[in-house]
Structure 1
Amino acid sequence: MAPDDAPDGPAGGSVRPVLLTVDDDPAVSRAVARDLRRRYGRDYRVLRADSGADALGALREVKLRGEPVAAVLADYRMPQMDGVELLEAAMDLFPSARRVLLTAYADTTAAIRAINDVDLDHYLLKPWNPPEEKLYPVLDGLLERWNAEPVRPPDEVVVIGDRWSARSFAVRDFLARNEVPYRWLLAGQPEAERLLTASGQPSDGARTLPVVLAPVADGCPEVLLDPDDTTLADHVGLTTRPQREFYDLAIVGGGPAGLGAAVYGASEGLRTVLVEEHATGGQAGQSSRIENYLGFPDGLSGAQLADRARRQVAKFGAETLTARTVTGLERSGGSRVVRFSDGTSVAAHTVLLATGVAYRTLEGPGLAEFTGRGVYYGAALSEVTACADEDVFVVGAANSAGQSAVNLARAARSVTMLVRGPSIEASMSAYLVEQIRALPNVRVLTCTEVTAAAGDERLSSITLRDRQSGRERTVDAQHVFVFIGAAPRTGWLDGAVQRDDHGFVLAGPDLVVDGQRPPGWNPARDPYHLETSMPGVFVAGDVRADSVKRVASAVGEGAMAVMLVHRYLAQQ
C-alpha cells in the first residue's frame, strides 16, 4: 500500500476523505495516483494498492481510524480478486463511497455486470488521457454528490438488548432498513455489561433495554434508553424535521411510488419533501430479491433498489423526513397541510399519498404476543442471519413470500411455506415457482393456516390447521415470517378523501358517478386520473384503489402523479 505524499490537508487539521485506486499494473497504479493527487491532493488523501487483498486491508485500516472514503477506483482485470469483487467487498465497509471501475475496451461487459452487482457509479475506459477531459469531470461530479450527502456520525451505533425482546428487534430492524451500520450486543456478554455499567445502567436486573449508544462528533457516545423511532433517527444522522416552511409537493410514503415521485418532482424543479414513517423502500425494500424489474436481468434486492432511489432523491435535492407519523390531512386556503403525531405539520401546494400497504397480521392465541420474538411480518432483515441451520416457516403465497423463502433457503436447514390456498401458482410469478420447486430444503404445505403460537420467552411452537379436514397439529417453530396480503394505511384519512370499502383511496374516474363529481369538489373540471376527492391531493402505488401491485407500476404512477401536479399548479 502506498500512501500519498501530499501536504497534511486543509486548514484546521480536519481529516481528509480517502481516494483509493487499485491496479495490479504498478505503472498504471502510479499514473492514476499521480493524476488524482494533482487535482485532489489538497482536499483528499490518495492511497493506491496493487491487489484487491491489499486494497481491502487498507480499507479496514481506514475504517478502524474512523476516516471517510469518498471513492474507490478499481481495475477490473486483477488476479485472485477482480475489480467487481473488490468493489462489492468495499460496499460493506463504506457503502456511500463512490465506485468506479477501470476497464479496457474489451471489458465493457464487466462494466454492465458491475452496474447490476455493485451499483457502479461510473466506469472508465483505459487509457483515460487527457485526465482533464476524461477523468476529472467524472470524479468532480461523483465527489460533488458524495460531499452533498448528509454526514452521519463517525462511528458505528451500538445496540444492547435482549435477543427475544420485541423492542430490541424493532430498533435493529429500523436501523437495518435505513441502512445505518450498527453493532448488536446481547445483555450478559462481557462487553455489553461493561458498556451498560459505563452508561449508568444498574447491574441488579432493573434495567431499561434496549440501550443504544449513539456516537457524537468529538465526544463520548450518547446513551439512549429504549428510544422511540424519532429520537433514534435524530441521533443516527437521519433527518426528521423539514428545512422549509412550504413546499410545492409533499409526498407521504417512501415506497417505490413515493421515491419515484420524489425523483421526478425534485429533478423537475419542484420543492419536494418526502415523509416516511419507518424506512424508505416500503414493502419492496424488504424483498430479498426482485428479479422481474426492468433493466436488472440478474435481479437486485429490495434494499439495493431503495438505496439507489434514496441517493437519486438526495442527488436532485428533495428532502426526506424519516420516523414521522402522519395523522391528518386538511385544506388551508390554497395549500394542503399534512399533520404529524407530535403536533407539527408541513404545508405544500400539492400532496401525493403513497403510503402503500401493511402486511395483515395473523389472528389467534399467542400470535400477537410473539410478534418480534419469533413471529415477524415481512423479511425482517435483522433476523435473517439468525436462521442459519434452523427450521423456518414462511406464511403466504405471493411473490414476497416466495422471494423470502428462496433467500432463507440459502442458510436455513429447512423452509416450510404455509399456504392457505390449494397452490402457489395462482398468486406467485412463474419464475419464483420454478425456483422453489428446485430447492431441496423448501417444501410447500397447501390448504394450511396458522391458528396459534406458544412459547415462554420466545416462540417455541405454532399450531397448524388443515383447512380441508379441520384437523390441527402443533409443530416446533422458532422463526415464522408472515406475508399474508395487505391492508391500506389510510385510517388517518378519515373525512379527508374518499376511499372504497376496503380503505383504498379512490381517484380520477372512480370519483365521478353518473356524471356527478365528488361532494365538495370546487374546480370546474373532473378530477385528474390520479387526483383524489380533495383537489391538489394525488394518490399513487398500492394504496390506490384497483392499482397493479407491482414495483414498476408504482414507480410509473409516481412519475405520472408529478406530471399531473405540474398541470394542477399551472392552473392555480
Structure 2
Amino acid sequence: MDLKTLDPNSIPEHKKAAMLTPRYDQTFPALTSAEIERMRRFGDVVHYKDGDMLFETGKPGPGMFVVLSGHVCVTQRDGFGHVSPVADQCAGQFLAEIGQLSGRMALVDGRAEGDVETLLIPPERLRALLVAEADLGERIMRALILRRVNLLQGGVGGPALIGSPVASDMVRLQGFLTRNGYPYHLLDPQADKDAADVVARYAPSPQELPLVVVPDGAVLKNPSLSELAHAMGMLRPMDKDKVYDVAIVGSGPAGLSTAVYGASEGLSIAVCDSRAFGGQAGASARIENYLGFPTGISGHALTARAFNQAQKFGAEVMIPVTVGQLDCARTDGLFGLALDDGEVLKARAIVIASGARYRRPDIDRLSDFEGRGVWYWASPIEGRLCKEQEIILVGGGNSAGQAAVFLASQAAKVRMVIRGGGLAASMSRYLIDRIESTANIELVFNTEVVALDGDTEAGLSRVTLRSRLSGEDETSEIRNLFLFVGADPATDWLADCGVTLDRGGFVITGMPTDGRAVQALETTVPGVYAVGDVRSGSVKRVGGAIGEGAQVVAALHGFLGDSARPTL
C-alpha cells in the first residue's frame, strides 16, 4: 500500500506533517514486491498479534523488519512517559534505523496495529544485504541514516538532561551525546514543570546536577560518560572469548579509515575510543580543503559518514572505552588491550590511531575553568554559550582558523591571539583570507594569555593578555576562552610495551629493528602499526590520516597472513 494513494482525510495529522518533511520518500521508501522477494533470503517471516511490541525503546533491537501485511505504529517516548508519533508503517515498508546495523538499543517503540506479518532481518544479515544488493542497499542505507537524523532533530526522545543549560557538566553530557549521534532533550528546571518536579523529588546537591532521565525512567545524578553509556545501552557486554583480527585504538579519521577498509576486506575489526568517533577532526566546524567537498563539510558530518560506513561492513565500535595498557607479550600469540572496565580485548594485530590530546598551556588556574569558560574545541554547543559575547581564541593553525570563522557567526567579536607575528607559516591561505574578510575577527599578534580569573563555580570572568614585544598586560572581561595551541600525542597507554616513541612522544614507524624488514607504518613491535596524528612525521591533515588508514590495511593482511602460516 502506498500512503500517497490514501484519502487525505484518512491520514493522521502527524503523518500528514511527516509527509511534508524534506526527503520523506527517501526516509520512508516503499519496496516493490520484487525487491521484497530479493530480501527474503536474508530474513525469516515472523508474525505479531495486535498490541505486540516488535521493538522497545532502550532494549536491543532485533534488526530490520519488512512489513509484509498489517500496520506497525512507531512512536518515540521519554523517561517521563511522554509519547510522540513518528510514523505508521504498512505493507511494503521497513522498520529500522542506523543503530540496527550493529544491534544497538532501539530509540523508538514499534507496536503491531492488528495482526502483522514481517520479514525480520537480523543485524549481521542486514549488513550482508546492504553489500550484496548494491542499489537496494543504497536506498535502505540512506533511509536508516535519515531516520536517525529525524530523531536527532525531533527534540523529544532519548534521555532528558535536567539542569542549567550553561552548566559545565551539562555541556559535557550534551557534547558526548551530540558527537556520538544520540538524540536527547534538554530541560531547564527553571522553566519546565516536569524537570522541576524531578529535581524536587530527588533533591540533588549542586554537585549531583545535571540529572539524566533515561527512557526506561531511571534517574542518574551527574553521571560519568561510561555510566550514561551503559544506562543508554550504548555499550554491550564484551564477548571474552572473541579474538579480533585487528584492534584499533582511536576512532578519528585514521582509525575509521582503517576500520572501513579492513572490515570491507573481510577482517574482523574492533575499534575503541574513550569519548566519541571523529577525534579532533570531528569537532571541526567546517573543512573546506578535503578532496571531493568543494563547498566544505563539517568534521562531524564527514566522520559520521565514516562511522556508519564502518558499521555497514561489520566493524565493532566501542564508545566510550578507555584503553589503559597494551600487552605485547603475546604469550598466546595475541595482543591484549586492558580496558577501563577490567576486561581484556584480544587481537592478532594492533593499530595505534589514538591521535593527540589538546595541549594545555602553562597558565595558573587553567584547570579551574576547563569546562567553565575554557574550551579546547568549538562545536555548536559552545557556540551557543558565547552568543553575542566577546571571546578570545588562542592559536594560529588550521583548527584555530576554522574555529574562529565558526565562532564569529555566533559571538559579537572574536579576538584571535597569536604568539607569533603572522599566520602564513601555520595556516592555509583560504582560511587566512576568510579571517581577514570577517569583520568581527580581530587578529592580535605577538601576544599570549598569562592569567585567568573568576569564580570556580560560576566560571571564567577575566583574561589577561601580555604583549611579547612591549611586556604590557591587558585584562578584559571575557567569559569564554578557546585554546587551540597544538596537541600532545595520546601515547601514555603504550608504556612498557616496547613501542618506540620520539622525543615528543609520537610513535616512530618504519625503523628497522634486529635487521628485519619493516613496513612504513609498522612500529618497533611486529604486528603493531601507527597511523594518523599519533605517528611521528605524519602530516597532521584529515586527508593524510585517511590515506594512512587505507595504506595500513595492506600491511595488516601481510602480517596476519604470515602469522597464520605453519612453522616448518
The alignment's TM-score, normalised by the length of structure 1, stands at 0.74
What residue in structure 2 maps to residue 55 of structure 1? none
What residue in structure 1 maps to residue 283 of structure 2? 286
What residue in structure 2 maps to residue 255 of structure 1? 252
Equivalent runs, 1:260-339 vs 2, <5 Å: 260-331=257-328, 332-333=330-331, 334-339=333-338
Letter in 2 for 1:400: S
- 1:377: how far off? 0.8
- 1:501: how far off? 1.1
- 1:46: how far off? 11
What residue in structure 2 maps to residue 83 of structure 1? none
Gaps of 5+ in 1: 7-16, 48-62, 74-93, 99-135, 519-523
Letter in 2 for 1:550: R
Equivalent runs, 1:158-557 vs 2, <5 Å: 158-191=160-193, 193-197=195-199, 200-202=201-203, 208-216=208-216, 221-239=217-235, 241-243=237-239, 245-331=242-328, 332-333=330-331, 334-456=333-455, 457-496=458-497, 497-508=499-510, 511-512=511-512, 517=513, 525-557=516-548
- 1:387: how far off? 2.1
Change (3 A) 1:195 1:285: farther
* Mapped pair 1:570 → 2:561: yes
- 1:164: how far off? 4.9
Change (3 A) 1:337 1:188: same
Determine if contact 1:180/1:236 at 8 Å carries over to the other structure. Answer: no
Q: Could you give the per-residue CA deviations for residues 388-441 of structure 1, whole angstroms, max 9, x where no partner exists?
A: 211122111101110011111112211111111111121000000000111111
Which has the higher mean CA deviation after the structures are superposed, 354-363 or 426-435? 354-363
In 2, the alpha carbon distance for the partners of 1:313 and 1:336 equals 22
Equivalent runs, 1:83-162 vs 2, <5 Å: 138-139=135-136, 141-143=138-140, 155-162=157-164
State the SS of the aligned residue for 1:64.
Answer: strand
In 1, the alpha carbon distance for the partners of 2:89 and 2:464 equals 51
- 1:231: how far off? 1.6
State the SS of the aligned residue for 2:208.
Answer: coil
Letter in 2 for 1:526: A
In 1, the alpha carbon distance for the partners of 2:291 and 2:87 equals 37
- 1:191: how far off? 3.0
In 1, the alpha carbon distance for the partners of 2:227 and 2:89 equals 28
In 1, the alpha carbon distance for the partners of 2:403 and 2:325 equals 34
State the SS of the aligned residue for 1:531.
Answer: coil
In 2, the alpha carbon distance for the partners of 1:296 and 1:369 equals 40
Change (3 A) 1:264 1:2: closer
In 1, the alpha carbon distance for the partners of 2:100 and 2:294 equals 25
- 1:469: how far off? 1.4
What do you get for the CA RMSD once the two structures are aligned? 3.7
Change (3 A) 1:18 1:347: farther
In 2, the alpha carbon distance for the partners of 1:167 and 1:280 equals 20
In 2, the alpha carbon distance for the partners of 1:271 and 1:23 equals 39
Determine if contact 1:281/1:306 at 8 Å carries over to the other structure. Answer: yes
Change (3 A) 1:561 1:35: closer
In 2, the alpha carbon distance for the partners of 1:68 and 1:286 equals 36
Change (3 A) 1:206 1:532: closer
Q: Could you give the per-residue CA deviations for residues 493-540 of structure 1, whole angstroms, max 9, x where no partner exists?
A: 1111110111101111xx33xxxx25xxxxx72221111111101000
Change (3 A) 1:526 1:150: farther
Which has the higher mean CA deviation after the structures are superposed, 430-439 or 37-46? 37-46
- 1:172: how far off? 1.6
- 1:202: how far off? 1.5
- 1:97: how far off? 12
Change (3 A) 1:460 1:326: same
Determine if contact 1:230/1:240 at 8 Å carries over to the other structure. Answer: no
Corresponding pairs, count? 467
In 2, the alpha carbon distance for the partners of 1:442 and 1:206 equals 37
Which has the higher mean CA deviation after the structures are superposed, 184-193 or 421-430? 184-193
In 1, the alpha carbon distance for the partners of 2:134 and 2:98 equals 22
- 1:559: how far off? 0.9
- 1:242: how far off? 3.6
Which has the higher mean CA deviation after the structures are superposed, 207-216 or 261-270? 207-216
- 1:268: how far off? 0.3
What residue in structure 2 maps to residue 133 of structure 1? none
Letter in 2 for 1:64: S
Equivalent runs, 1:10-21 vs 2, <5 Å: none
* Mapped pair 1:64 → 2:84: yes
Determine if contact 2:413/2:440 at 8 Å carries over to the other structure. Answer: yes
In 1, the alpha carbon distance for the partners of 2:437 and 2:416 equals 14
State the SS of the aligned residue for 1:231.
Answer: helix
State the SS of the aligned residue for 2:335.
Answer: strand
- 1:215: how far off? 1.1
Question: What fraction of aligned residue pairs are identical, expressed as a percent?
Answer: 36
State the SS of the aligned residue for 1:369.
Answer: helix
Change (3 A) 1:525 1:228: same
Q: Could you give the per-residue CA deviations for residues 313-333 of structure 1, whole angstroms, max 9, x where no partner exists?
A: 011010000011111011323
In 2, the alpha carbon distance for the partners of 1:414 and 1:36 equals 58
Change (3 A) 1:559 1:66: same
Change (3 A) 1:543 1:309: same
Determine if contact 1:33/1:46 at 8 Å carries over to the other structure. Answer: no
Determine if contact 1:328/1:493 at 8 Å carries over to the other structure. Answer: yes
In 2, the alpha carbon distance for the partners of 1:43 and 1:282 equals 44
- 1:168: how far off? 2.6
- 1:381: how far off? 3.9
Letter in 2 for 1:434: D
- 1:301: how far off? 0.1
State the SS of the aligned residue for 2:244.
Answer: strand
Which has the higher mean CA deviation after the structures are superposed, 298-307 or 239-248? 239-248
Gaps of 5+ in 2: 8-14, 37-65, 74-82, 102-132, 564-568
In 2, the alpha carbon distance for the partners of 1:145 and 1:315 equals 12
What residue in structure 1 maps to residue 68 of structure 2? 42
Change (3 A) 1:96 1:5: farther
Determine if contact 1:19/1:46 at 8 Å carries over to the other structure. Answer: no
Q: Could you give the per-residue CA deviations for residues 133-165 of structure 1, whole angstroms, max 9, x where no partner exists?
A: xxx974455337867999999922211234454
State the SS of the aligned residue for 1:65.
Answer: strand
Which has the higher mean CA deviation after the structures are superposed, 427-436 or 331-340? 331-340
State the SS of the aligned residue for 2:538.
Answer: coil
In 1, the alpha carbon distance for the partners of 2:375 and 2:208 equals 23
